[in-house]
């Protein structure tokens, strides 16, 4: 996978996303999801990384990363796509990180499922966060994504089962939203200090995310 030609600016925040080729599933079971999350940690490094070094008997977070090349503020994995909120720390940091991440995961996936060819739908997509309001909204947008697993048209509806939705999102294992409430080891993927301190505590974060249920942006 070649480096992306887009010029990412150091210190700027971007919403990175991509999905499976032809909208195919890219995560089939818990092992797949957790492999991708492990790679988000291990690939965020100036050091060379071999995906084969992550085996079932090794704790991926024991990998000596050294200096990181990006800061990750939030992420969410769905069965056929992913979202990552990311800030560049070094020259070409985002491109290098995504190249290592997607290549390593594709190698793992193709080997496990005995397939060949491209796993992802072309190069990853990116949108710059060009305002403080939009950046704050992106946290909510990313964390609300798993609701699609329950109701794909939730944005067009007035959700009446909010209590169930809140429980579901706070316990969705493949999003960093859960990390704030359960303090999993995957919390090490994030670098909160690199992003504005929008959320003083979990109550503030929860109120902010769920405030978008019936808002204009939430229906965008």
- Domains of the chain with CATH codes: 13-127 (3.30.70.1290), 131-182+196-219 (no CATH)
Answer yes or no: are the C-beta atoms of 74 and 176 closer than 8 Å: yes
Among the listed residues 66, 52, 156, 151, the one whose alpha carbon sits nearest the alpha carbon of residue 108: 52
pLDDT string in tens for the chain (220-residue length): 445 556 899 999 999 999 999 989 999 999 999 999 999 999 999 887 666 666 554 555 666 788 999 999 999 999 999 999 999 999 999 999 999 999 999 999 999 999 999 999 989 999 999 999 999 999 999 999 998 777 666 665 555 567 778 888 888 999 999 888 776 766 789 998 999 989 888 889 888 888 876 554 444 3
Q: Give the span between the Cα atoms of 144 and 140, in whole angstroms.
A: 6
Cα 127 off chain centre by: 14
Cβ within 8 Å of residue 163, ≥6 positions away: none
Answer yes or no: are the C-beta atoms of 212 and 140 closer than 8 Å: yes
């Amino acid at each position: 996978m070649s480096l992306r030609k887009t010029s990412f600016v150091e210190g700027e925040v971007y919403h990175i996303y991509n999905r499976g080729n032809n909208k195919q599933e890219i995560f089939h079971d818990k092992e797949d999801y957790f492999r991708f999350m492990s790679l988000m940690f291990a690939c965020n490094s100036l050091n060379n990384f071999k995906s084969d070094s992550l085996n079932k008997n090794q704790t991926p977070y024991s990998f000596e990363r050294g200096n990181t090349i990006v800061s990750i503020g939030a992420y969410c994995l769905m069965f056929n796509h992913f979202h990552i909120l990311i800030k560049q720390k070094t020259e070409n940091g985002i491109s290098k990180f995504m190249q290592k991440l997607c290549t390593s995961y594709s190698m793992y996936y193709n080997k496990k499922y005995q397939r060949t060819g491209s796993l992802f739908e072309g190069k990853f997509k990116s949108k710059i966060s060009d305002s403080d309001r939009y950046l704050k909204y992106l946290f909510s947008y990313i964390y609300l994504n798993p609701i699609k697993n329950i109701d794909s048209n939730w944005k067009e509806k007035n959700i009446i089962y909010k209590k169930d939705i809140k429980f579901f999102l706070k316990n969705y294992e493949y999003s960093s939203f859960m990390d704030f409430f359960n303090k999993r080891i995957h919390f090490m993927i994030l670098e909160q200090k690199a992003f504005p301190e929008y959320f003083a505590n979990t109550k503030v974060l929860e109120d902010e995310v769920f405030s978008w249920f019936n808002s204009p942006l939430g229906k965008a």
